[in-house]
């Protein structure tokens, strides 16, 4: 018998039904195992072919990892916080014009061209500077003062050519704290991500292409796509815009299981997860009694506000807490985490090893559902990250089983 056979709930992101806002579990294979999801229409994901595609309203985003140009075999469930793309013309549609709508050519010196193309299924610009000059594209940006933003642009390395590592290809201008980035700042997957903090004057322009910071030699071609500027210290999935800023609201995923799925007296909550960033926020996955805006009667895993910190909580009906934790977790890497509880002890396992334990005397009662948040009725502390699998066991596994499960 494998460990999977012992589980009372197994969610490996593989099946969904947008029309009913459902993410299916593998176990149980009835509606009891279903999660209720909310996802905005037109939110995007990386599909199995490595293309960026929009999803239907309330379609769980099964997002495929892309590493060194290779699409991974298994998707993760992507859950993201609300974010706004403040760049108002990100789709780079030419609409029959010589440049994308909303973008203008800077300087326009030398011989150059801008042509419409696609990259990863999204609109893109192929910019050629044939002879020495400047012909970047620019769009006006109006941001908030003294705020941290992340700029993200994707480049098609396979169809870009002649570019030196020291060529500047992205810049902001006419605003405080302007910056310029070189081709060497683009990673192997063709992604340029820049964190920057605005000053008092936060209205200026974003420049993309050749000549953003001075003349460039000729004989160069660059293809760029999906520019995005969002408030925050890390980038999230692409938000298409065409004429105005657009906000993607926060994803939610809740409500799997019932009283037969969970055991108040003993059990294990297992999650294979990665945070989007170690960003100083609290993000939880919780088995709860679903009784109100409090923490009573829960079994919960928390990617903590404190850097590199993971906590596990078991809380009884009176609010008494048994907690375990580690301060050595790389939150934004994929981690296999198990929280075991019974009348003898509470134990926390990470990536094959026990990292903490506590004498447990605070067992919950009335556990009825699993949420990607605090489990409170106010649904605070939503889990934002990537989840490759969730499992619940209604028995306390042995030490060797917990090591095996998290390895």
Partner 1 sequence: MELFKKYEFDSQEQAESKIAALPHDTDDEGNEWLIGKHTIVKLGHIVTQEGIYEDTEDGDIVEVTPPVYADKYSVDVLWRGLDSSPYGWASYEITVEGNGVHTFLGRNF
Binding mask 299-318 for partner 1 (x = CB under 8 A): ------x-------------
Number of residues that bind partner 1 (CB under 8 A): 39
Contact flag: residue 42 with partner 1 (CB under 8 A) = yes
Tell me the C-alpha distance between 264 and 382, whole Å.
Answer: 23
Where does 139-207 have alpha helices with state H?
none
Q: Which of 380, 398, 399, 407 binds partner 1 (CB under 8 A)?
A: 380
Strands 203-208 and 168-173: antiparallel
Q: Which of 43, 170, 269, 387 binds partner 1 (CB under 8 A)?
A: 43
Residue 190 or 240: the one with the smaller Cβ distance to partner 1 is 240
* Contacts of residue 34, Cβ cutoff 8 Å, sequence gap at least 6: 22, 23, 24, 25, 255, 256
User: In the complex, what is the shortest distance from the CB of residue 134 to partner 1, in angstroms, rounded to a whole number?
Assistant: 8
Contact flag: residue 282 with partner 1 (CB under 8 A) = yes
Q: Which of 19, 31, 144, 343 binds partner 1 (CB under 8 A)?
A: 144
Residue 25 or 91: the one with the smaller Cβ distance to partner 1 is 91
CB count within 10 Å of CB 382 equals: 24
* Contacts of residue 30, Cβ cutoff 8 Å, sequence gap at least 6: none
Tell me the C-alpha distance between 216 and 168, whole Å.
Answer: 9
Q: Binders of partner 1 among 196-225, rule CB under 8 A?
A: 203, 214-215
Tell me the C-alpha distance between 404 and 407, whole Å.
Answer: 5
b vs e for 270-285, b when ≥16 Cβ sit within 10 Å of the residue's Cβ?
bbbbbbbbbbeeebbb
User: In the complex, what is the shortest distance from the CB of residue 226 to partner 1, in angstroms, rounded to a whole number?
Assistant: 15
Contact flag: residue 286 with partner 1 (CB under 8 A) = no
Q: Which of 250, 258, 351, 366 binds partner 1 (CB under 8 A)?
A: 250
User: Hey, is 33 helix, strand or coil?
Assistant: helix
Residue 135 or 406: the one with the smaller Cβ distance to partner 1 is 135
Q: Which of 252, 288, 346, 394 binds partner 1 (CB under 8 A)?
A: 252
Q: Binders of partner 1 among 59-118, rule CB under 8 A?
A: 82, 84, 88, 106-107
Stretch that binds partner 1, among 27-35, 150-158, 240-248, 355-363 (CB under 8 A): 240-248
Contact flag: residue 275 with partner 1 (CB under 8 A) = no
Tell me the C-alpha distance between 26 and 9, whole Å.
Answer: 7
Dig out the tokens for 48 from the structure.
Answer: 């199995």
Dig out the tokens for 368 from the structure.
Answer: 């009825």
User: Hey, is 161 helix, strand or coil?
Assistant: strand
Q: Which of 59, 221, 374, 394 binds partner 1 (CB under 8 A)?
A: 374
What are residue 166's phi and psi, to 5 degrees? -90, 0
Applying CB under 8 A, which residues contact partner 1? 40-43, 57, 82, 84, 88, 106-107, 134, 140, 142, 144, 173-174, 203, 214-215, 239, 243-250, 252, 282, 293, 295, 305, 374, 376, 378-381
């Amino acid at each position: 018998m494998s460990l999977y056979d012992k589980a009372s709930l197994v969610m490996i992101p593989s099946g969904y039904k947008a029309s009913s806002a459902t993410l299916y579990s593998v176990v149980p294979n009835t509606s009891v195992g279903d999660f209720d999801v909310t996802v905005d229409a037109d939110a995007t994901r990386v599909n199995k072919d490595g293309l960026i595609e929009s999803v239907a309203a309330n379609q769980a985003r099964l997002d495929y990892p892309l590493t060194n140009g290779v699409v991974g075999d298994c998707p993760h469930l992507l859950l993201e916080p609300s974010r706004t793309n403040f760049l108002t013309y990100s789709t780079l549609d030419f609409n029959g014009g010589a440049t994308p709508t909303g973008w203008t050519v800077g300087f326009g010196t030398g011989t150059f061209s801008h042509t419409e193309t696609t990259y990863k299924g999204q609109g893109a610009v192929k910019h050629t500077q044939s002879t020495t000059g400047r012909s970047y594209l620019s769009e006006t940006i109006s941001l908030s003062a003294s705020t941290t933003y992340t700029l993200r642009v994707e480049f098609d390395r396979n169809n870009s050519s002649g570019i030196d590592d020291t060529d500047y290809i992205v810049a902001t201008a006419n605003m405080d704290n302007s910056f310029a980035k070189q081709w060497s700042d683009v990673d192997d997957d063709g992604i340029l991500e820049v964190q920057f903090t605005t000053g008092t004057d936060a209205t200026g322009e974003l420049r993309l292409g050749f000549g953003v910071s001075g003349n460039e030699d000729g004989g160069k071609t660059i293809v760029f796509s999906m520019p995005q500027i969002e408030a925050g210290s890390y980038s999230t999935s692409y938000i298409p815009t065409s004429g105005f800023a657009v906000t993607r609201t926060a994803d939610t995923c809740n409500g799997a299981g019932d009283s037969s799925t969970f055991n108040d007296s003993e059990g294990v909550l297992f999650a294979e997860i990665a945070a989007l960033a170690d960003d100083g926020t609290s993000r939880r996955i919780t088995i709860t009694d679903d009784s109100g805006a409090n923490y009573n009667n829960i079994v919960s895993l928390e990617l903590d506000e404190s850097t590199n910190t993971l906590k596990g909580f078991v809380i009884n009906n009176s609010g008494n807490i048994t907690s375990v934790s580690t301060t050595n977790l790389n939150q934004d890497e994929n981690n296999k985490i198990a929280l075991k509880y019974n009348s003898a002890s509470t134990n926390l396992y990470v990536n094959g090893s026990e990292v903490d334990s506590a004498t447990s005397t605070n067992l919950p009662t009335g556990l009825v559902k699993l949420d990607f948040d605090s489990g409170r009725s106010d649904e605070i502390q939503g889990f934002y990250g990537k989840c490759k699998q969730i499992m619940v066991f209604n028995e306390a596994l042995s030490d060797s089983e917990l090591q095996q499960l998290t390895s």
